[in-house]
Amino acid sequence: MNRSAIVVTTGNQIEGHRIQEYLGVVRGIVVRAPSIGQGFSGALASFFGGNIGAFEEMCDQAREQAFDRMVAHAGQLGANGIIGMRFDATEFAQNTTEVLAYGTAVKLVPIG
């Protein structure tokens, strides 16, 4: 599903549209661990302190993938909107993190 075909917001409504139907909760899940290069770069950066760019890149990629999977899930339900979108992350094993994107899929109709 094309990202631009589905409007996504953290709010509970979308300006200029009315929610015609609630289709249910949609989610995208990604489980990530740093690559060897990211782990080495991150360990080196953490030794000196400051922002750890390698880990930041890994987290950003995981969020993007989880978001795309959530949008695809909404598309499978016939949605053209997602409201109440959130991210959640949980470390469940050493250096392994689950990133979850979730929200409520809806069918929107323009007002007016």
CATH number of the domain enclosing 95: 3.30.110.70
Residue 19 lies in domain = 3-33+66-110
Split into its structural domains, the chain has a count of 1
Transcribe 42-63 into DSSP letters. Answer: HHHHHHH-S--HHHHHHHHHHH
**pLDDT value of residue 38:** 46
| Residue 56 lies inside a defined structural domain of this protein | no
Phi and psi at 35, nearest 5°, equal -70, 170
Mean pLDDT, residues 27-55: 62
Asked if residue 55 belongs to a domain, the reply is no
Q: Answer yes or no: is 90 within a domain.
A: yes
Q: What is the pLDDT of residue 2?
A: 59
Which pLDDT tens digit goes with each residue over 75-91? 999 999 999 999 998 88
How many whole angstroms separate alpha carbon 38 and alpha carbon 18?
44
**Span 23-29, average pLDDT:** 98
Q: Confirm whether 70 is domain-assigned.
A: yes
Average pLDDT score over the chain:
84
pTM: 0.81
- Rounded Cα distance between 75 and 53, Å, is 33
The answer to whether residue 38 is domain-embedded is no
* pLDDT value of residue 57: 79
Between CA 68 and CA 9 the distance in angstroms is 14
